[in-house]
Amino acid sequence: MKTSVNVCGIEFKNPLIAASGTFGFGREYQDFYDVNIWGGFCTKGLTYEKRLGNPTPRIAETPMGSLNSVGLQNPGFEDFVKYELPYLKTLDTVVIVNIAGNMVEDYCRLAEAVSDCDIDMVELNISCPNVKEGGMAFGTRPESIKNVVGSVRKYCKKPLIVKLSPNVEDITQNAKAAEDYGADAISLINTVSGMAVDIYTRQPILANTIGGLSGPAIKPIALKMVWQVYNTVKIPIIGMGGISSAQDILEFMLCGARAVQVGTYNFMDPYAPVTLLDGLTKLMADCKIQDVNTIVGDLKAR
Amino acid sequence: MKDYNLTIISNNQIARDVFKTEFSCQEQLPSFIGGQFLHLQVPCKILRRPLGILEMTANYCSIVYAVVGEGTRILSKMKKGDCLKAMLPLGNGFVLPKTYKKVALLGGGLGVVPLLPVINTYPEIEFCSYMGFKSRDDVILYDEFNKLSKKICFTTEDGSFGSCGFSIDALKDDLETNNFDAVLVCGSIPMLKEVKKANFKIPVYVSMEERMGCGVGACLVCTCQVKKGNNIENLRVCIDGPVFKLDEVAL
Ligand SMILES: Cc1cc2nc3c(=O)[nH]c(=O)nc-3n(C[C@H](O)[C@H](O)[C@H](O)COP(=O)(O)OP(=O)(O)OC[C@H]3O[C@@H](n4cnc5c(N)ncnc54)[C@H](O)[C@@H]3O)c2cc1C
Ligand SMILES: Cc1cc2nc3c(=O)[nH]c(=O)nc-3n(C[C@H](O)[C@H](O)[C@H](O)COP(=O)(O)O)c2cc1C
Ligand code: FES
């Protein structure tokens, strides 16, 4: 049975990638399993300068979902190189560094610096709903996507994944803009913008008032967008949003995802990749799928 | 740290809106330090609930919790024989230097829970327990503290059980006459602010609460601002805490 996949010429031993922001810089789950079991993993969103993020509470539970407003807390590039990179180099899995910024220049500077590190891919986060100044502002309109992706492309020497926001008018135009201006792959979706309220205090639950919704609640939105983007672009797609079972993985792959990311499910099951991979091989056997690549985009349109 | 399969052996109300759940576990459970917690899966819920470990031996563990929202309400309705998963033991607990001889425990409401197991963690230290509640219907773990502490003082705000007033005032009265090496505190934010203001001249360790996602340090939702030298750092309550030095945390 074959579960390995190839995205932009990079070999993943299986299609599972830990999603940015839910897996730190890859150390925290070592007590539970060998993190090299993942096909790949994406770091927490990195900015050039250190960031403290938003005030707490930063998380709330909503029906079948979780709402967060971490706000890109991260150690900044210098500390990343000093404290995280040496560890990342010891890993035997695909390492993707997720990058963010306030201005196009920030993204370019960081993309260049990160490209010189011993990592495998760069994921451009232009879709974070939790920081005011930037993030999503770049990711909502095709014009700004062209600008930021086109600029970063010149500085990024590693395969460039562009991560798209679902909080947009037309996801296909944004995907097309990213492809046209140099993205090697597209990942989607980032969290869906949302809010939760406490009737007793009459306040929003999150200190930041609004946050990003993740988990099973957003899966139908994500599947739709993956399918739409699959029908629009030629570059590989990495799908995510609410994946919490082997069946979910196959659903995303049928809609056109070459690989998938798993975020919130890590909070539900600290052995997430172990459970999911075990389920995937069983389900593939049940469904008589010899090679997981054969189902990518194989959705029979009605 | 592991995710253990726990089976409920009893689930009883022990005070107003407060329940104690006892679990058995087929696997051998690890040892723990008072102040460490578990991250409990609740049916129909996406996020786990962090709860202090009250007792834990080879194949047994227990928690005490207030019903405050949906997750704890579901938990309080579960029956003997029901199974749940829990990641444990999480966090750093109350790690005390070997030189300590006498320590004061200061708790308010459900904050008394993580303090009780500290007594068994350090058999060589003498503990005096100052525990405060709103009213007699809210009092929990009196017998347990009474059995294990050198001195005990339970207070209620309305005087319906123990002394009338706040546990912090009872402790203040005793500070002069006792040579405490430290105070360990767990309670509401207003209570912690009072303790900070009181400026005891000895080390004060606090167990903090914050909403959690992963429980193991990976998601950064549980941060607490902590002073390190002249810098403010965002530390993670789940893994860098939940116990911090009180004078270092920004409340
Ligand atoms: C380290 C630690 C130890 C704790 N120990 C105890 C204990 O021994 N006994 C006890 O009664 N309570 C304890 N708490 C608080 C307990 O976690 C919350 O009361 C509980 O999670 C509420 O869940 P709910 O589903 O009923 O509430 P809801 O409001 O429905 O919960 C929604 C979400 O918010 C989180 N949440 C809500 N209130 C709190 C809170 N005060 N702290 C952290 N997360 C919260 C929940 O975990 C959940 O993710 C502890 C908290 C922490 C951080
Ligand atoms: C706590 C938390 C933090 C996140 N931080 C980031 C981040 O720094 N950068 C990013 O691109 N996405 C971030 N995300 C979004 C996830 O990578 C993912 O796109 C989203 O959660 C949907 O997947 P899921 O439903 O499997 O969690 C974060 C999500 C969560 C829950
Ligand atoms: S709960 Fe995830 S870092 Fe603390």
Predicted confidence (pLDDT) per residue in B201-251, tens digit:
999 999 999 999 999 999 999 999 999 888 889 999 999 999 999 999 988
**Strand-pair category, A160-163 with A121-125:** parallel
Residues B177 and B241 in one domain: no
Q: Are B12 and B20 in contact (CB under 8 A)?
A: yes
> Nearest CA to CA, how far is B217 from chain A (Å)?
6
Q: How far apart are CA B176 and CA B93, in angstroms?
A: 27
User: What DSSP string describes B232-244?
Assistant: EEEEETTTT-SEE
Which residues on chain A are in Cβ contact (under 8 Å) with B41? 268
**Look-up of token digits 């459900």:** B110
Identify residues of A whose CB sits under 8 angstroms from chain B CBs: 21-24, 27-29, 31-32, 44, 52-53, 56-61, 64-66, 68, 70, 73, 215-216, 264, 266-271
- A64 lies in some domain: yes
Residues B84 and B32 in one domain: yes
Question: What's the CATH code of the domain at B170?
Answer: 3.40.50.80
**Terminal alpha carbon distance of chain B:** 29
Q: How far apart are CA B185 and CA B109, in angstroms?
A: 11
A56/B222 CB distance under 8 A? yes
B48/A267 CB distance under 8 A? yes
Proportion of chain B above pLDDT 70, given as a percent = 100
Amino acid A4 reads: S
Residues B104 and B178 in one domain: yes
Cα–Cα separations (whole angstroms), residue A148 to A30, A144, A162, A226, A292: 35, 6, 10, 22, 33
Question: What's the CATH code of the domain at A35?
Answer: 3.20.20.70
Cα–Cα separations (whole angstroms), residue A21 to A42, A99, A161, A289, B184: 8, 11, 16, 32, 33
Residues B202 and B233 in one domain: no
* Ligand (nearest to CA of B91): 1
- A202 lies in some domain: yes
Residues B106 and B184 in one domain: yes
Residues B143 and B107 in one domain: yes
Ligand 3 contacts CB of residue B214 (under 6 A): yes
What does each of the 251 residues of chain B score in pLDDT, given as a tens digit? Answer: 899 999 999 999 999 999 999 999 999 999 999 999 999 999 999 999 999 999 999 999 999 999 999 999 999 999 999 999 999 999 999 999 999 999 999 999 999 999 999 999 999 999 999 999 999 999 999 999 999 999 999 999 999 999 999 999 999 989 989 999 999 999 999 999 999 999 999 999 999 999 999 999 999 999 999 998 888 899 999 999 999 999 999 88
Residues B30 and B71 in one domain: yes
Which residues on chain A are in Cβ contact (under 8 Å) with B208? none
- A301 lies in some domain: no
Query: For each successive 10 residues of chain A (302 residues), what is the average pLDDT?
Result: 96 98 94 97 95 95 97 94 95 96 90 96 80 59 91 96 94 96 97 96 96 98 98 98 98 98 98 98 97 97 85
**How many domains, in total, are found in chain B?**
3
Closest residue by Cα to residue A204 from A52, A63, A21, A67: A67
Closest residue by Cα to residue A73 from A95, A97, A100: A100
Residues B83 and B102 in one domain: no
Provide the domain limits for residue B22: 3-90
Amino acid A256 reads: G
Ligand 3 mean position, distance from CA A98 (Å): 19
Q: Are A264 and A68 in contact (CB under 8 A)?
A: no
Residues B193 and B148 in one domain: yes
Q: How far apart are CA B91 and CA B217, in angstroms?
A: 9
ipTM: 0.94
**How many domains, in total, are found in chain A?**
1
Residues B178 and B215 in one domain: no
Which residues on chain A are in Cβ contact (under 8 Å) with B215? 267
Question: What's the CATH code of the domain at B75?
Answer: 2.40.30.10
Mutate to test the interface with A, among B42, B189, B220, B225 (most CBs of A within 10 A): B220
Q: Which atom, in ligand 2's list, is nearest to the CA of A242?
A: 25
Predicted confidence (pLDDT) per residue in B178-200, tens digit:
999 999 999 999 999 999 999 99
Tokens of A116: 């010189």
Residue B3 three-state SS: strand
- B45 CB within 8 Å of a chain A CB: yes
Provide the domain limits for residue A136: 5-295
What integer pLDDT is reported at residue A136 of this predicted model? 54
A44/B212 CB distance under 8 A? no
Residues B48 and B119 in one domain: no
- A176 lies in some domain: yes
A95-109 residues labelled b (16+ CB within 10 A) or e (exposed):
bbbbbbbbebebbbb
Residues B111 and B165 in one domain: yes
A24/B223 CB distance under 8 A? no
Question: What's the CATH code of the domain at B237?
Answer: 2.10.240.10
Amino acid A186 reads: I
Mutate-to-test residue for ligand 2 from A128, A190, A275, highest number of ligand atoms within 8 A of CB: A190
- A239 lies in some domain: yes
Nearest CA residue ID for atom 27, ligand 1: B69
